Structure 1
């Protein structure tokens, strides 16, 4: 039987000075005496030779009694102490001890320095993470060691040769990850039952993207990142007689559809001075971005997963419908100066050359931060095959090298899981949102769109197929003159060979 098998959960009560939950703070006056009754139950579990086992949930009921004491001035009633977080214990009732293990979450952007908390949530998070590390006796920090370009090769070399470090690697999605996974270089997280992928913290679905059969080779505990949507220039909409706020209302009511979007584009695109030349345009946008968002918005994709196998969805009715619609929209409503580079939109939209831009959420803090006109941001409108707006998640992947033994991998996974749990008292708090308020020009962009994108998302698989290059092999050549069905037929056999290899 594994030493990690039979465990129970022991609830600890902390005084205010031990663990401060900032959202529910209140003044407390300690009485002369305080007694607490605590009962504990233990639960055991059977062994499984194929799996390194982890804690089974059993809670310890706790009762706290208050005492009253008389003073010369007044009678003071002691209020019950707030509950602290749950500490996991082994079969003998001992809190897990990771032996002072020092763990590094290895990425390509973090400084490794702990930043000062800026708000009550960040204070509570810091206190919780301090408690986690003290309780289970480990240290963890996130620091850049590789750079963006070298990370895949660095992981390949490390996982092949091994090392004494205790790493959690953050890797980007792509064919390099699949190659490493197929080569047996990723630890199978499904064998570590300290990880429960049914929990809400894994809702981004990265573990599904990184699954093969019953095995799971990567995950992400982070709230999914909002990605592609539709920017709009409020001044240009108002000049065309459109109330910009109506777009948010349509989004909330479910009326924000392809048809509604085209109605606006028809209204905006015009020859305002009657000289025979269109001088007000609805769209300035990147072709590939627009095609992709159209596909996602019609509940479609290029490569799917069926019965544990990658499948070609490029020629499905929903995907071809979306691509044809996107090409038609750009042909009728897109402003494209003669001789312009593919990324002309980076200056065209801030300059007011078009009312709408299909783009990623991060652009607000970068290319558009100095834009003179106010802008808004909504989800890409729904296609006829979709029931709701969709955000395609492309989050980074957390992985543990397969060169680690079972004991080491379990401890690293246990620490990562505990460290990244939702902060007690802030379980429903989305810490991604705060950073977007400074980037966008209205609160609706964040409260109604960014927040929705963190919930309404899916993962897809075209970036996970070695040899398959969506842009080079299909998107760039899919045009009005080379329509989607024709372009899809041209790559059918080539993609079939890639899928056959990936499915081995």
Structure 2
């Protein structure tokens, strides 16, 4: 097994004592006595000492013994992982593999991730497994957070309460994505996931259009960096870039192309709002009409009415939901609010014309009551409640170590490297992506069974939408009912 060590070299001290005596006289002495002979001029050198010091910290139990998991094998079960380790392509991956080898040897266990099932069946697969009492395998299940099955499974006692396991400390940096908060119910914690939050919703911008309108694209990055990237600053730029270039009375370049549902949520959270909250007792609360949320909804309605094109209409009077992507790709708008993956290889914005140095991409601007923030709906991991405490502890301990921030690479964000493979400019990779992972919040509405954010609410927003109050009147009672049921 590779066992890299940090070499700590103790400084080699060199002391040379050279003593020479000479008679101070006009004539050289005829002879010099042996006692007066000069001392040796050879330096006295202390030996160079090289000591190997491990970069890893060995965890020990209350008795001072290194934890021993008894050779247990643990599988992180999901729908996307190859169980075979791929060849390391970076220094980070080499360090990660070396660390993972070290923890498995040191604590006497095996762990890997493996595809078992698919995206559409994983939740029910877990329910079936836990209900049947499990088997001889040791699984940490990966589920998608938006599946209402999980909350029901928690209510039915099928999910292990992670707050009872002393090997997990959710104040540690590796849990900073906050996923464990999604399923914190009645004081218990039932789901977790280590690692950086995945970058999601932001604003792409066409730098050519901005420059032609007299806007320096770097000024947007500068505002993001200086925390002055606000709704007001965004609207000021929208006013400059939206143009009727041929003076025929029709707008040729719109300020904004947008998936309205995505931008509504971005605006709400950027103003300190939310749709669903939690009180001190862990009960879910209805927040669609909090002051911060309402202010954001009214603001985004105003923005859509001024700068958002309604899209082309077909013979049946319908508009394709993704029309805005082609609009942005063809230079028909300066900004588009969408997901980070849209400019990744194989996606539409990856082949964006006139972007030799990559697209601009920044976080959504902050509202008067908020901050620069994104929302993420990351996958979650759970442990079956049919495991006894010792078995659950070993699963959690191994998973936690396996997903530790690699020593020497604690600030390494893998999403930065994957973003570099897409159509993003340098500042998006180096500034926006790390900020997104750092300033990320969870969406609690995703865990409420039955609460559909689409047709009843988000899809009603757009350039020709009605009053916000009418939209809320149509979904208020239904949403409150779902939240009440989730609290039972």
User: Can you list the C-alpha shifts for 1:67-113, whole angstroms capped at 9, x where unaligned?
Assistant: xxxxxxx9751233233312222344332221221111011111111
- TM-aligned CA deviation for residue 472 of structure 1: 2.3
RMSD: 2.2
| Structure 2 CA distance for aligned equivalents of residues 432 and 237 of structure 1 | 27
1:157 aligns with 2:131: no
1:353 aligns with 2:332: yes
1:381 aligns with 2:373: no
User: Can you list the C-alpha shifts for 1:251-286, whole angstroms capped at 9, x where unaligned?
Assistant: 112221111111111111111111121111111111
Match of 1:483 among 438, 462, 467: 467
Aligned residues: 444
1:319 maps to what in 2? Answer: 293
- TM-aligned CA deviation for residue 18 of structure 1: 6.0
Contact 1:107/1:170 (CA < 8 Å) preserved in 2? Answer: yes
The residue matched to 1:282 in structure 2 has which SS? Answer: strand
1:390 aligns with 2:373: yes
2:425 maps to what in 1? Answer: 442
- TM-aligned CA deviation for residue 367 of structure 1: 2.0
The residue matched to 1:372 in structure 2 has which SS? Answer: coil
- TM-aligned CA deviation for residue 347 of structure 1: 2.2
1:123 aligns with 2:94: yes
Contact 1:315/1:485 (CA < 8 Å) preserved in 2? Answer: no
- TM-aligned CA deviation for residue 478 of structure 1: 4.3
1:332 aligns with 2:310: no
| Structure 2 CA distance for aligned equivalents of residues 141 and 362 of structure 1 | 26
1:85 aligns with 2:53: no
1:102 aligns with 2:73: yes
1:171 maps to what in 2? Answer: 143
The residue matched to 1:159 in structure 2 has which SS? Answer: helix
Unaligned 5+ residue runs, structure 1? 1-16, 30-73
Contact 1:303/1:460 (CA < 8 Å) preserved in 2? Answer: yes
TM-score by length of 1: 0.84
| Structure 2 CA distance for aligned equivalents of residues 150 and 301 of structure 1 | 29
The residue matched to 1:311 in structure 2 has which SS? Answer: strand
1:265 maps to what in 2? Answer: 238
Match of 2:454 among 471, 477, 481: 471
| Structure 1 CA distance for aligned equivalents of residues 74 and 122 of structure 2 | 18
| Structure 1 CA distance for aligned equivalents of residues 8 and 328 of structure 2 | 49
Unaligned 5+ residue runs, structure 2? 12-44, 314-318
Match of 2:343 among 364, 377, 393: 364
- TM-aligned CA deviation for residue 417 of structure 1: 1.1
1:213 maps to what in 2? Answer: 186
Contact 2:261/2:461 (CA < 8 Å) preserved in 1? Answer: no
The residue matched to 1:304 in structure 2 has which SS? Answer: strand
How do 1:286-305 residues align onto structure 2 when only pairs under 5 Å count?
Answer: 286-305=259-278
1:56 maps to what in 2? Answer: none
Task: Label 1:358 to 1:323 Cα distance change in 2 as closer, same or farther (>3 A).
Answer: same
| Structure 2 CA distance for aligned equivalents of residues 394 and 455 of structure 1 | 14
How do 1:172-321 residues align onto structure 2 when only pairs under 5 Å count?
Answer: 172-174=144-146, 175-307=148-280, 308-321=282-295
Task: Label 1:275 to 1:121 Cα distance change in 2 as closer, same or farther (>3 A).
Answer: same
| Structure 1 CA distance for aligned equivalents of residues 459 and 272 of structure 2 | 22
User: Can you list the C-alpha shifts for 1:398-457, whole angstroms capped at 9, x where unaligned?
Assistant: 100111111111111111111111112222222332111121432100211111011111
1:142 maps to what in 2? Answer: 113
| Structure 1 CA distance for aligned equivalents of residues 309 and 460 of structure 2 | 20
